[in-house]
Amino acid sequence: MPPTFRRDVSLAPFNTFGIAARARRFVSVESVDELQALRDGPEWDDGPRLVVGGGSNVLFTRDFDGLVVRIATRGHRHLGDDGHDHLVEVEAGESWDGLVRISLAAGWPGLENLALIPGSVGASPVQNIGAYGVELVERFAWLEALDLSSGRIVRMDAAACGFGYRDSVFKRGLRERIVIVRVVFRLPLRWEARIDYADVASRLASNSSPSATDVADAITAIRRDKLPDPRVLGNAGSFFKNPVVDATTFDALRADEPDLAGRVQPDGRVKLAAAWLIDRCGWKGRGLEGGGGRAAVHDRQALVLVNRGGASGADILALAEAIRHDVGERFGIALEVEPLIV
């Protein structure tokens, strides 16, 4: 059975920025069969298409004159273990934070550092989500996706996904060609807490052997303190990637700005805190004058742009451009936008 279409639908409930763009057609799919029927049906080839999960990493800058497909599949399955890891298969439409809590309750730790990241399981490989020293790729076994050209379900391992820092093939060449339908995670049988980030270590200072749930709770509390709740203040998490520069550039910047922090990467290059650069340019908590200040920089985390109510996607983009300009001027660094701009 092909799913039911709705026409001229507001996308405000389907993007965490809360931007009031509209879609010409909208459909929600609740099973992989429904998705396949949709792909094989007559409405599929009628104009542009966009697949959304939680809508937590997208900025709509205009109405979408095409078909928006929301993936609303549910469920998970323990496939067994391979001696090192539990293998857990999860449907793409499950909420990410919901999965973190399900896995902890079931005794499969490993995702706790990624607690409270907004969005869906199917979106998690797209930007290789990461936080507090853990990236999705470390917990990833394989995924299954609908190949839109053949109509078949294909299996992709980590190498085929081309994971990088907040990056994968799904952001690049494969963006229009496949839809992720389920992800299989590998969660370690012999678990160890990863609490080397200063914020996390200090929150757990009085706990000599934190459980995975303790780590998830600590990280949830840290995120609640500094990141805006999208239900209250629209946002898409970090709006820019943290820039990575070579060691020489880092030393030169540091000579002028002794407080500049950096994390040395395995290849010797240094990842800078974009939040710090933006903050230093005086943007933290500030709104864009044009547009009545509706698009603003969050007052507790300068990497997060927020919709104070009624901002358009164009307002947010104009703010992002002003920030990019100032950071470029002052530090000679070109910030790269992280969410998908539609």
C-beta closer to ligand EPU: residue 157 or 229:
229
Rounded to whole angstroms, the maximal C-alpha distance in the chain is 64
Gyration radius of the chain's alpha carbons: 21
Integer angstrom CA distances of residue 272 from 20, 194, 197, 242: 33, 21, 15, 6
Q: How far is the CB of 335 from ligand EPU (least distance, A)?
A: 10
Q: Does 126 bind ligand EPU (CB under 6 A)?
A: no
When binding is defined by CB under 6 A, the residue of 3, 54, 93, 237 that contacts ligand EPU is 237
Q: Does 55 bind ligand EPU (CB under 6 A)?
A: no
Pick the closest to residue 119 from 339, 341, 342 (CA basis): 339
Is 289 considered catalytic here? no
Nearer to ligand EPU, 23 or 342 (CB): 342
- DSSP, residue by residue, 67-110: EEEEE----EEEEEE-SSEEEEEEETTSBHHHHHHHHHHHT--S
d(CA 300, CA 303): 9
As a whole number of angstroms, the distance between CA 249 and CA 26 comes to 47
Q: Which stretch binds ligand EPU (CB under 6 A): 72-80, 168-176, 183-191, 274-282?
A: 274-282
Residue 172 is among the residues annotated as catalytic for this protein: no
How many Cβ atoms are within 10 Å of 249's Cβ, its own excluded? 17
Where in 159-218 is the site for ligand EPU (CB under 6 A)?
166
Dist. CA 308–CA 185, nearest whole Å: 36
Q: Which residues pair with 64 in a beta bridge?
A: 23
Do 32 and 42 contact (CB within 8 A), yes or no?
no
- Residue 145 in tokens: 């996706």
DSSP 222-285: HHHHHS--TTTSEEEEESBPPPEE-HHHHHHHHHH-TT--EEE-TTS-EEE-HHHHHHHTT-TT
Window of 65-73, 182-190, 238-246, 249-257 that interacts with ligand EPU by CB under 6 A: 238-246
Is residue 120 a contact point for ligand EPU (CB under 6 A)? no
For this structure, is 10 an active site residue?
no
Could you say whether residue 132 binds ligand EPU (CB under 6 A)? Answer: yes
Binding test (CB under 6 A) with ligand EPU, winner from 69, 111, 281, 302: 302
- Under the criterion CB under 6 A, does residue 276 sit at the interface with ligand EPU? yes
In the set 166, 186, 203, 280, the catalytic residue is: 166
279 scored as a contact of ligand EPU (CB under 6 A):
yes
Is the Cβ of residue 176 or residue 229 nearer to ligand EPU in the bound state?
229
From candidates 261, 264, 334, 341, binder to ligand EPU by CB under 6 A = 261
| C-beta of 273 vs 318, nearer to ligand EPU | 273
According to CB under 6 A, which one of 128, 168, 242, 312 is a site residue for ligand EPU? 242
338 touches ligand EPU by CB under 6 A: yes
Please tell me whether residue 125 binds ligand EPU under the rule CB under 6 A: no
- Coil, strand or helix at 156: strand
Question: From the candidates 28, 103, 238, 312, which is the catalytic residue?
Answer: 238
Catalytic residue annotation:
166, 238, 338
**Chain contacts with ligand EPU (rule: CB under 6 A):** 131-132, 166, 237-238, 241-242, 261, 273, 275-276, 279, 284, 301-303, 338
